[in-house]
Amino acid sequence: MKKIILLVILFIVSTTTTYAQFEKGKWHINGSFTGINISHNGFIEDNFGLGLSVGNFLEDNFALIVNSEIAHYEKSLGAQVRYYLPNTGAFGGIGMEYKTIDYFDGGDKHITCFTPEIGYAFFLNKTVTIEPVIYYNYSLTKPSDYSKFGVKVGLGFYF
């Protein structure tokens, strides 16, 4: 019983100390592995890549983020707003991305996606996080072929 109480206390302390990282004026940088798709779209089955996002907290718990991804078959540039639940690392975001998909025959397809996501920032110390995220890219151009669910895992820095 003492171990359970100690674990609960450690959890409460660790989640309350993360709040200071989500204050107005703080910056966030995240590099991630992307394209770990849960479902496959009509065009590409697997499309592993790298992502980079940079954001600023405009208000406490509320960040504006610019992101880009480079994967084997696609490149994207986007922006999102993200809200962090107070006193935790849980967050939700919503944004838009412009993607260029490279076809095998040399042609390109340009699409715009609506991009909701949810995730959690696990703090390793006061500034470094591991951030798993579940996302959905809803294509505004032929959703059945270009929309997809996926997972990305990032390494974040808050300063």
Mean pLDDT of each 10-residue bin along the chain, 159 residues long? 58 54 94 74 68 96 96 90 94 96 77 96 94 94 85 94
pLDDT of residue 130: 96
Q: What local confidence, expressed as pLDDT, does residue 107 receive?
A: 74
Q: What is the pLDDT of residue 73?
A: 79
3-state secondary structure the chain: CHHHHHHHHHHHHHHHHHHHHHCCCCEEEEEEEEEEECCCCCCCCCCCEEEEEEEEEEECCEEEEEEEEEECCEEEEEEEEEEECCCCCEEEEEEEEEEEEECCCCCEEEEEEECCEEEECEECCCCEEEEEEEEEEEECCCHHHHCEEEEEEEEEEEC
CATH class of the domain whose range is 2-158:
mainly beta
Q: Which pLDDT belongs to residue 149? A: 86
So what's the pLDDT on residue 87?
86
pLDDT, residue 115, reads 96
| C-alpha span between 2 and 83 (Å, rounded) | 35
